[in-house]
Amino acid sequence: MKTIYYPKPVDEKEKTYYSAEPDPNLRLNVSVYDRLMIELAHQQYLSEDELKVLLNENGLNYCDVYDKNVHYRQLLCTVLAVFEAMLGNVDLFRSVESEFGTTSQAYQYLERRIQRLQQRIDSIPDEPVLGGRDSDFSFIFKD
C-alpha cells in the first residue's frame, strides 16, 4: 500500500510572497557604472574609460548611486550611445557577441536593438508628471 502525503495546510496569515527582511547578500547601493554594465549584460563592448566618458556625456557620474527615478532615461541614452558606437565597428561587436555568422546579421541586430532602445527612451517622460494631472498638450494662449 502506498502512503500518500498531503501538504501541510497553510495559514493565510503566515503566507508571504516575499521576504520581509532584506537579503544581506543583495547589494542595494549600485553605482551608475554597475547599472550600465547590468543593462549591457556585463559585456565589455568598450573599455571602462570609454564607458565612463559616455556616461559623463549623458550627464551621469559613474560613481554615483543609481536611482531609477532620476537616472533611468540618461542611462538608456548611454546604452544607446554604446550600440551606436558599435555600428561604426561591427567587427568589434562580433568579437564580443559571437552568435552572428555574418557582419550583416550583426549590423541588423544592432539596428533592431537601437530601435527598441529608442522606443524605450521615447516612452519615458522628460519630466515626472505631478499627480498624474499634467498633459502632453499645452495652451497656445495664456491669460
Chain segment 10-45, per-residue pLDDT in tens:
554 544 433 445 555 556 788 999 999 999 988 888
- Number of folded domains that form the chain: 1
List the domain range (segments joined by +) for residue 52: 32-123
Residue 83: inside a domain: yes
Please state the φ and ψ torsions of residue 92, each to the nearest 5 degrees.
-65, -40
Residue 72 amino acid letter: Y
Q: Determine what percent of the chain is predicted with pLDDT higher than 70.
A: 69
12 domain-assigned: no
pLDDT band at 139 (very low <50, low <70, confident <90, very high): low
Cell 540618461 belongs to residue: 74
**In this structure, is residue 128 part of a structural domain?**
no
